[in-house]
Structures are given as structure tokens and as C-alpha cells.
Amino acid sequence: MHCAERLLARGDRVVGVDDLNAYYAVSLKRDRLARLEGKPGFRFAQFDLAAPGVLDALMAEEPPDAVLHLAAQAGVRYSLENPAAYVQANLVAFANLLEACRRQPPRHLVYASSSSVYGGNTRLPWSEHDNVDHPVSLYAATKKSNELMAHAYSHLYGLPSTGLRYFTVYGPWGRPDMSPILFAHAIMKGEPIRVFNRGDMQRDFTYIDDIAEGTLRVLDSPAGPDPAFDAAAPDPAASWAPWRVCNIGNHQAVGLLAYIDALERALGKTTTKELLPMQPGDVQATYADTARLDALVGFAPSTPLEVGLARFAQWFRPYFGYT
């Protein structure tokens, strides 16, 4: 939604696709969509990207200049409960997307990867040049698979593609299964916050406006072959093909307890914390090296956590009816 708003504001035509599934509240998805519908240049198509042939038909009808693929079955913990959803949404749907791009080639395909691909890597900050062969969740494995699938199509068909490894995105209109909204509801209701690994966790929280800015700058800068790529010593971030991956994070690892304190200050209330063990599929810390993003598009996220959480709280309280 945030990227679509920016594209429309600068005069682009946008065809948005979503199946509006019930993984989380459809009302929130429809409220996001309502912010776009009726704006000049916007069209919405509701269907499942995993359905055969539907995306092909849409892209044949309106051949795209660029494709921004931010659809996925998200969430690390849910992948332990419903792995089939991840196979369909993240593998089958992505394969359909690549095939549609092969038939109607855009000048650039940009897709959402994830910081989760770094898996068990404990060397921080995480760099695109690091090996990412040790995922700790099926969700992470599907995102790494997307990067590999995109590389095959970039090599075989010359499809320029960039995978963006997002780091803990937060802000207004965010997903309700992520910590900002989960924790904010608990704080406002005076309920305990469930804190995993007993609070000994760090996350690179990245504000949504920075994510949208970085994403669109990358979208406007199609990937090309890396002339410095050495097949005898391959760089995991680059290729002889028009393919690359890139981190988008705030380049700051924030302790989970410090983050909760900042959220409480933004909301003007406090609550108790229930300290729990580490959950399967989680990692102890995430921290983005953003030098590559800065070098590619002259931008790196920098919104301070306190500023981002204040903006989040200004949206959260009235949207969910807290006074």
C-alpha cells in the first residue's frame, strides 16, 4: 500500500494484485485498499497468484513496465503450523510470477526477500556477501528459494531482478501478527507482553517510509550483470546475470526490552512482561549492513526508533479505538 501510494503520487499507473486471504484481519487489508481505490491510475485485481494462468492473462492485457512483488505468506512461527501455505504462496506463486515475467518481460522485477534468509549466521552485521545456506525456518527457506529461482530466470532469460532482504518492518498499517501491534494491544489493555528468549533478543527495526523509499529507488534502478563477478570465487550478492540481492534495514540492532520501553513511551502506558524461552525458528539478533543499498541508490534507512514508534502510535490508537 505504501509503495502504491508513492507510485500513484508521482504519476505512475498501478495494477495491484491481492487475494485478500484471511491469514489476518481482512478488514485491515480492505482499509488499506480503500486508501488506493478511486485514485487516478489505480486498478485492483483480486486473485491468488498461485492459481495457474491468471497472472499471465493480466500481464498480457497490461504488459508491465516494472513488477514489484511484495506478496507472500509471511511469518516465521506460522510456517511451523501450516507449511503448505508457504509452498503455495511463496514457491508456486513465485514460479507463476517468473513465468509471467518471462512471457511479458518488465524492465525490472523487484521482489521481497527477507532478513530471515541469514538463518543461523551469528556474524553481525549481516552482509549480502555472507553465505545464506543455513535457514532455521521453512519461511526463510522459501525466501532463499525465491532468490535462487529469480537467478535462474535472470540467467536463462535476461530478466533483471533484485531481491530485497527486509529487516523487521514496522509502522502504520502494519501486519497485526507482528510485535508492534501485538505488543501495543497488550500495553493498551494492561495485559502481559510475551517476551521470548527472556528478552535477550535484538532486532533491526526499519520504519515503513524508509522501506518504501528504498524499495522504489531500487525499482527505478534495474539490475545488471556485475562486471567484477568472479565465477571462481562467487559473491553471493551478485552475478554474471542481471541479478542481485540487497539488504534494507536501519543498520541498528535494538534490544527487545529497550524496544518495548520505547513503545510504552510512545503509547503513554506500561504493562508487565512474561519472559519465555526462545521459539523454534527464531534467531537471537538481526542487524543489516546497508552499505550496498547506499552504494546502489544513494539511500539507507535512518528513521530513529522513537520517531517511527511515535508515528505508529498516532495511527494505532485511533484506528483500533483506544483513547
Half-sphere exposure of 137 (CA within 13 A, CB side): 24
Residue among 139, 153, 207, 287 flagged as catalytic: 139
259 is catalytic: no
Query: Which ranges of the chain does DSSP label H, i.e. alpha helix?
Result: 2-9, 26-34, 54-61, 78-81, 83-86, 93-103, 138-157, 179-189, 208-219, 256-267, 291-297, 305-319
Distance between CA atoms of 87 and 97, rounded to whole angstroms? 14
Looking at residue 290, its amino acid is T
Question: Is 307:175 a contact under the CB 8 Å cutoff?
Answer: no
Distance separating alpha carbons of residues 211 and 2, to the nearest angstrom:
9
And the C-alpha cell for 298?
544513494
Contact 290, 239 (CB under 8 A): no
Provide the grid cell at 240: 554474471
Measure the CA–CA gap between 154 and 188, rounded to whole angstroms: 48
Phi, psi at residue 3, to the nearest 5°?
-65, -40
Identity of residue 94: F
Catalytic residue IDs: 139
